[in-house]
Amino acid sequence: MIDIFYRLNGKIMASQSAKDFAGIRRENVLWIDLLSPTGEEKHSTELFLDTEIQSRAQAEEIESSSRFSETDKAIFANTNFLIPGPEEYSMEAVSFTIVGHTLTTLREVPLRSFTELQRKLVAMPKLYPNGYVVFVAILDQRVDLDADMIELMSKEIEQYSKRVNQEEDVNQDFLLDINQLQENTMLVRENIVDKQRLISNMLKSDKYPKDLESRFNVLLQDISSLLNHTNFSFERLEYLQNTVVGLINLDQNRIMKIFTLVSLLLMPPTLVAGFYGVNTKLPITGTSWDWVIIVGIMILSSGIVLLIFKKRKML
């Protein structure tokens, strides 16, 4: 699928056919958005821009030279967009190519930040004079969405903290949920750092309009604050995880303490019963009161052990 946004009579028009390139001047095109394009759509775009568009494999590489590079007539930038799921988050690679003042994006899945910007582009054409402004707007939308995700994760962490404070059932599943939240927090942080690196590299270029430098700097400040927030969230999760592990250990220690106490209480009666359980006669009075005396000795010995434990504050 291809979406071409170009200027015509003061308005921004949209086309979804690569054949329309023949009737559009390149300097009038602001943005070419390729969503899972066919080979023909990608080839037509490359011919129109006179530049080769990076493949998905190149967009997913992590080397610095692959994440951002530029030639005499084009800028190539790659970054990951975070897609939240029911439990886990996933990364989707997006490739940006800027030739002249025309932005080209290549992606494989629908992204909310792109859809929202496309509506704004047609509705408010004066706010988007060139592809660089569209590029900044995409990053701005993405940073806002990342901030929303971090806020939701903070609320989720708060809910887990309340469950611990209210002494709800803290078990292995609870600990696994916290671990998954830690993984999601690390993915968010990795995603934000990737944006920070992309914008820093763009500021080093001499191709972008200098009037956008202030917007790039604002984005860097926003990203810096988000990084601080993710660091705090991760530290909070570590503290919560340690608390949960401590509570589980305390619960296990309490169970082991009960088993130990029961074993110790039964040891003296077992010893007495062992003496009187042998085949040799060991009379006390020679009457039926012997059983009563034996049971009394058992109870007395258990009481003495229990009293010793209480005095030493072992219970």
pLDDT digits (tens, 9 = 90+) for 125-168: 788 888 888 888 888 888 888 888 888 888 887 877 777 777 66
Both 284 and 234 in one domain: the answer is no
**Which element (helix H / strand E) includes 80?**
strand 74-84
Q: What is the dihedral of CA 29, 32, 38, 40, to 10 degrees?
A: 20
CB-based contact 302:269 (threshold 8 Å): yes
Both 143 and 213 in one domain: the answer is yes
Alpha-carbon distance of 28 to 71, in angstroms, equals: 22
CATH number at residue 80: 3.30.460.20
Both 32 and 105 in one domain: the answer is yes
Domain with 290 in it: 254-311
128 or 268, greater pLDDT: 128
pLDDT confidence bin for 256, thresholds 50/70/90: confident
**Is the pLDDT assigned to residue 283 strictly greater than 70?**
no
Q: What are phi and psi of 285, to 5 degrees?
A: -115, -15
Both 76 and 218 in one domain: the answer is yes
Q: What is the pTM of this model?
A: 0.72
Both 164 and 234 in one domain: the answer is yes
User: Among 10-19, 109-118, 186-195, 303-312, where is mean pLDDT lowest?
Assistant: 303-312
Both 161 and 259 in one domain: the answer is no
Both 242 and 280 in one domain: the answer is no
pLDDT tens profile 9-50:
878 888 888 887 788 888 888 888 888 888 888 888 888 888
What is the pLDDT at residue 243?
A: 73
Question: Considering only CA atoms, which of 143, 230, 134 is closest in space to residue 184?
Answer: 230
- What total number of domains does the chain contain? 2
Both 192 and 114 in one domain: the answer is yes
pLDDT confidence bin for 229, thresholds 50/70/90: confident
